[in-house]
Amino acid sequence: MKITLRRLLILLPLLFLTSCFDILDKVNVKADGSGEYSIILNASKSKTRLASISKMETINGKKVPKKSEIESKINEAARIFKGVPGISNVKTSMDFDNYIIKLSCNFKKIENINAGLEQLKAKNILGKMIPTHIYSHNPVKKTFTRNKINTFKSDYDKLSAADKEVFNNSKYISVLQFENIIKSQSNTFYQLSPNKKAMKLEGNILDFIFEKKQVQNNIILQ
């Protein structure tokens, strides 16, 4: 199934009608491999524009989704996550005043998140090209891997100028937290915290589309 970049996250279509949004995903991993996962879609910097857009039927030839449609998608994503073995305590929050949406959950092992994302793809909540085998963790060997994902440059090149503007000034942030100390990592784009138990990767979304920055990282824990 062919998709374009503006369909990468069907969870919040309104984000792709504005040119300023942030995506934050956060993983907190305990020594036994269990932990917490959350993803936040934040378009608060464009809330005035989005408030105006939300009153329209279409913009740039695209249908403007209603709040009820967005809520339905988020609730469906939460329902699917709740049905994945190993995932529990699924929560969602939707702030339509500031246009911030969050989904969070607990997992028994990080691979449960991969399975949850695969289920979202199977139910057409996520686009078919969205990577799902994102994380892997071996508590015995004390290794954690953020796997490589496909580049979307070819899809980006096919977008109209108006659609390309969607990604200007938009950011992606990934935070990885561990109970154990981080001994080493393979990707120096990740910033290590002073206590060496957390790391953050941050950049414009275009940096990742054009592979100026990479998300993959092989981490060895102490």
Q: Grade residue 152 by pLDDT with cuts at 50, 70 and 90.
A: confident
- Rounded Cα distance between 45 and 221, Å, is 36
Q: Judge contact between 222 and 180, C-beta under 8 A.
A: yes
Q: Which residue has the higher pLDDT, 4 or 61?
A: 61
User: What stretches of the chain adopt beta strand conformation (E)?
Assistant: 22-29, 35-42, 58-59, 62-63, 87-95, 100-107, 135-138, 143-146, 171-178, 182-185, 191-192, 198-204, 217-221
What SS3 string covers 16-40? Answer: HHCCCCEEEEEEEECCCCCEEEEEE
The answer to whether residue 207 scores a pLDDT higher than 60 is yes
Give the percent of the chain with pLDDT over 70: 86
- Highest mean predicted confidence (pLDDT) among 5-19, 54-68, 99-113: 99-113
Q: Which residue has the higher pLDDT, 84 or 163?
A: 84
For 16-50, how does the pLDDT look when each residue is reduced to its tens digit (9 = 90+)? 555 578 889 999 999 999 999 998 888 888 778 77
Extract the tokens encoding 42.
Answer: 């934040």
3-state DSSP assignment of residue 159: coil
**Identity of the amino acid at 114:** N
3-state DSSP assignment of residue 105: strand
pLDDT of residue 101: 87
Q: Judge contact between 35 and 60, C-beta under 8 A.
A: no
pTM: 0.84
**CB burial readout 102-127, b (16+ within 10 A) else e:** bbbbbbebbbbbbbbbbbbbeeebbb
Q: Judge contact between 46 and 21, C-beta under 8 A.
A: yes
For 85-116, how does the pLDDT look when each residue is reduced to its tens digit (9 = 90+)? 999 999 999 888 888 888 899 999 999 999 99
Q: Which residue has the higher pLDDT, 108 or 166?
A: 108
Extract the tokens encoding 192.
Answer: 């290590």
pLDDT of residue 47: 79
For 113-147, how does the pLDDT look when each residue is reduced to its tens digit (9 = 90+)? 999 988 888 887 766 656 778 899 999 999 999 99
